[in-house]
Chain A
C-alpha cells in the first residue's frame, strides 16, 4: 500500500500538522519509503494469532474512590500560553 498526495494532506489534517503544499510530495515519498519497507509483514501468516494487548501479565490496578488531589489551578497556569483567570484560553470556537 502506498499513499498519494491527497492521503498525505488528509492525515496531516487529522494529525493537526500544518503541511505546506511544497512539503506534501516529499513527505509522500518519505512515508511511502517507510510503508514499502513495512510491507514485508504481509508475508507472515497471522491467522488465529491473538494481537498483543499487554506485555505484562498483570491485572489492571485500580484506585479507591478517594479525592487525593488539591486545587492545582495556579500550577496548571504556570505553563499555559494563554491562561487567564485560571482558564485556558483559545481562539473562539463555534459549536
Chain B
C-alpha cells in the first residue's frame, strides 16, 4: 500500500479516474498511513469513517460517469477550517469541544469537487506561530530529521500539520492558511509546495479568523502541479465574504509547463538579511541561475521598507486578533470556566484558561496598540507603513514580473529551540510577512537540501491575482531542482 501514498495528487487523480485503483482503496491506504503516524501528532482529529464513506460515494460517481475534478482524492484539512459536524479546535483549548454547524466555503468547494476528508490537521493555536509549537494539542513533529540525528524538528507553522502530513505522505494535499507566512514557512522546511494566494482569492468564510486583513487560505501539496490543481478547486467568488474578489478562477494547471522564457525575475536586495543561513543564500543564488538558464531575465530591485514589515505585522495582526478573538467568551460556545461568580469572572477565567500563552500575549499587545492614546502611534502608523510596503512592490513590478527570495532564514529548527523568546520566533517570518501586508500571492517551492539533508525552499512573489505565472515559474524551479528526496519513514508504528 505504500505505493499509493507516494502518488502525487495528479497521479492519483489519473489513476482513480482511469479506474486503475478505486477511491476506496486509495483512501484506505491513506487512512492506514494516518493511523500509523500518530507519533508525529499531525492530526488533531482523524475522520476515517467520513473518509471511507466519501470514497465510496466517489466510486459510485466514477462508476456512474459523473466524476468531478478531485473525485476520491484524500486530503487533510487544517483545523482552522470549520467542518460541519466535525470538531474544529483552531489548535486551542477554548474550542476543544466545538462542533461547527456549517462548512467553510473553501472546504465545501473541495467536497463539491469530489475530494475526501481524512481528518483535521494540527496547527499553532489560532494560527499564531511559526513552528506549530503553540498548539494546545501538542507540537506537531516534522517527518524530516537531520542526518544521523533523532532530534525532533518543527514542521514550520502555523500550518505545521498540513506540511507534515504532505511530507509524511499521509494525504495527497492539505489545506492551510497564511497570515504572515503560515503556508510558506511550513512548506519551505518540509520540502513541500505551498501557495499563499492573493488576498481575496479564496473565501475566508468559515475559516477561524486570526487577522482578517492578512488571512488567506491556500494549499500545501507535493508538487507545483498538485498545488495548482488544489488552488483551482479551493478558490471561488464568495458572496458571503465581503473581501472575496469577483474575478473568475483560472485553470492554473493548464499553463503550468509554459516556462519562464522572457520573464523578468526581480531579486530584492533588502532580502539579503544578516543572519541568513549561508546555505539558503546559496540556494537563492542557484535558483536565480536556474531561472536565467531557462530564459528568464534576472534584475535587481529594491523594496526599501522591507525591514519594517515584521514590526508592522506585529502591530496589525495582534490588533485584529484582539478583536477577532473577543467572541471566545464562554457564552455561546467554547470553554467556560467552572462556577463563575459573575459575568466578568466568566469572561476573564474562560479566556485565560482557554487561550495559550502566545495567544494571550498577542491579545494583550493588540488591545494595547488600539487603546485610547496609542492608536495613532501604533495602529495608524502601522497601516501607513503598509501603504509604503505595498508601494515598494508596485515600484518593483515596474521592473520585473515577479520576485525570487528565500522563504525562511534557516532550515527547520528543533522543537523548543526558539519558543522561549517571542521576538526570535517572530523573526523567522522575515521573508514571508511583507507579502501578507501587501496582499500579494507567493509560492514556495523546494529548491534543495542542506548538508544535513534538510529541505530548503525558495519563494516566488507575484503580482496580485497572477498566481498562474507563479505556478509556471515555480514549475521551472521544480524541474531545475529535480529534488527526489523525501523523509525516511521512522515514525510508523
Chain A interfacial positions (CB closer than 8 Å to B): 1, 3, 7-8, 11-19, 27, 30-31, 33-35, 37-42, 44, 46, 49-56, 58, 60-61, 63, 72, 75-76, 78-82, 88, 90-93
Residues of B contacting A91 in the complex (Cβ-Cβ under 8 angstroms): 340-343, 345-346
Contact B340 A51 (CB under 8 A): no
Q: List 22 A-B contacts (CB under 8 A).
A: A3-B368, A15-B367, A27-B361, A33-B422, A34-B314, A37-B311, A40-B311, A46-B381, A51-B387, A52-B386, A52-B390, A76-B332, A78-B101, A79-B99, A79-B101, A79-B333, A81-B331, A82-B331, A82-B336, A90-B343, A91-B340, A91-B345
Contact B344 A51 (CB under 8 A): no
Contact B308 A40 (CB under 8 A): yes
- Of all chain B residues, the one with the shortest Cβ separation from A34 is B365
Distance, CA A53 to CA B380, complexed state (A): 10
Which of B61-69, B72-80, B258-266, B348-356 is near enough to bind chain A? B348-356
Contact B308 A30 (CB under 8 A): no
Decide: A60 near B242, CB < 8 A? Known: A31-B361, A81-B336, A91-B340.
Answer: yes
In the complex, besides A38-B314, A79-B334, 18 extra interface pairs with C-beta distance below 8 angstroms are A12-B364, A15-B364, A17-B363, A27-B364, A30-B361, A34-B314, A34-B361, A34-B365, A34-B422, A37-B311, A41-B308, A44-B388, A51-B383, A51-B386, A51-B387, A55-B390, A58-B246, A81-B335
Distance, CA A38 to CA B399, complexed state (A): 31
Distance, CA A37 to CA B345, complexed state (A): 33
Which of B271-279, B371-379, B407-415 is near enough to bind chain A? B371-379
Residues of B contacting A92 in the complex (Cβ-Cβ under 8 angstroms): 342
Contact A78 B364 (CB under 8 A): no
Residues of A contacting B426 in the complex (Cβ-Cβ under 8 angstroms): 37
B360 contacts partner chain A, Cβ-Cβ < 8 Å: yes
Distance, CA A95 to CA B344, complexed state (A): 13
Distance, CA A19 to CA B349, complexed state (A): 9
Q: Choose among B332, B340, B345, B377 the residue that contacts A79 (Cβ–Cβ < 8 A).
A: B332
CB distance from B88 to the nearest CB of A (A): 10
Distance, CA A54 to CA B326, complexed state (A): 22
Q: Choose among B345, B355, B388 the residue that contacts A17 (Cβ–Cβ < 8 A).
A: B355
Residues of A contacting B368 in the complex (Cβ-Cβ under 8 angstroms): 3, 7, 11, 31, 35
Contact A41 B382 (CB under 8 A): yes
CB distance from B105 to the nearest CB of A (A): 14
Contact B97 A79 (CB under 8 A): yes
Contact B351 A16 (CB under 8 A): yes
Chain B interfacial positions (CB closer than 8 Å to A): 97-99, 101, 199-200, 213, 239, 242-243, 245-246, 305, 307-308, 311-312, 314-315, 322, 326, 329-336, 340-349, 351-352, 355, 360-361, 363-365, 367-368, 371, 374, 377-378, 380-388, 390, 421-423, 426, 438-439
Distance, CA A88 to CA B331, complexed state (A): 7
Residues of B contacting A50 in the complex (Cβ-Cβ under 8 angstroms): 384, 387
Residues of B contacting A16 in the complex (Cβ-Cβ under 8 angstroms): 326, 329, 344, 347-348, 351
Contact B422 A11 (CB under 8 A): no
Contact B311 A55 (CB under 8 A): no
Contact B340 A17 (CB under 8 A): no
Contact B101 A49 (CB under 8 A): no
CB distance from A55 to the nearest CB of B (A): 3
Distance, CA A62 to CA B8, complexed state (A): 41
Contact A17 B348 (CB under 8 A): yes
CB distance from A40 to the nearest CB of B (A): 6
Distance, CA A38 to CA B364, complexed state (A): 15
Residues of A contacting B307 in the complex (Cβ-Cβ under 8 angstroms): 40
Contact A81 B333 (CB under 8 A): yes
Decide: A11 near B364, CB < 8 A? Known: A38-B315, A44-B388.
Answer: yes
- Of all chain B residues, the one with the shortest Cβ separation from A10 is B371
Residues of A contacting B334 in the complex (Cβ-Cβ under 8 angstroms): 79, 81
Residues of A contacting B333 in the complex (Cβ-Cβ under 8 angstroms): 79-81
- Of all chain A residues, the one with the shortest Cβ separation from B97 is A79
Contact A56 B311 (CB under 8 A): no
CB distance from A35 to the nearest CB of B (A): 8
Q: Choose among B331, B345, B349, B383 the residue that contacts A52 (Cβ–Cβ < 8 A).
A: B383
